[in-house]
Structure 1
Amino acid sequence: MAVVRAEMAGKVLEVCVAQGDAVSEDQDLVIIESMKMQIPVGSPQDGTVQKVFVAADQFLNEGDPIVELS
């Protein structure tokens, strides 16, 4: 299992996946706004979303978990 974590602090603008979704490598998982820029967070691998830790409008700190993949 892989846990995708926030690489920087910011606000979650959009959650693009849900638990149980199949994802491809580089597919957008969430969109984060940081420093007035929209930053997509892509999947590091093909897999299935086991858990989504975030919701829209939530603030993330660097290192916070976003999604767990298997």
Structure 2
Amino acid sequence: MANVVSPMVGKLVSVDVKVGDKVKANDPVATIEAMKMMVKIYAPSDGTVQEIKVAAGDVVNTDTVIMTLE
């Protein structure tokens, strides 16, 4: 199991996958806005989205778990 985590503090703008989606390592899975920049968050490994822990509009801190992959 792998966690997708936020690389920095920001507002989650979008979650670009849903539970059950298969992703490959380095696929974009979410976007956060930090310091007026849009920052893509990428899957750390191949897997299937098991759980999404935050929603668009949520403020996340560095290392907040956004979703888990299995």
Q: TM > 0.5 between the two?
A: yes
Deviation at 1:59, TM superposition (A): 0.4
Q: Give the total of aligned pairs.
A: 70
1: CA distance between counterparts of 2:56 and 2:4?
16
The AA in structure 2 aligned to 1:64 is: T
Taking structure 2 as the reference length, the TM-score comes to 0.95
User: Structure 1-normalised TM-score?
Assistant: 0.95
Q: Unmatched 5+ residue regions in structure 1?
A: none
Unpaired segments of 5 or more residues in structure 2? none
* Pairwise CA RMSD: 0.7
Moved beyond 4 Å, runs of 4+: none
Percent of paired sites with the same residue: 40
Q: Does residue 1:53 correspond to 2:53, yes or no?
A: yes
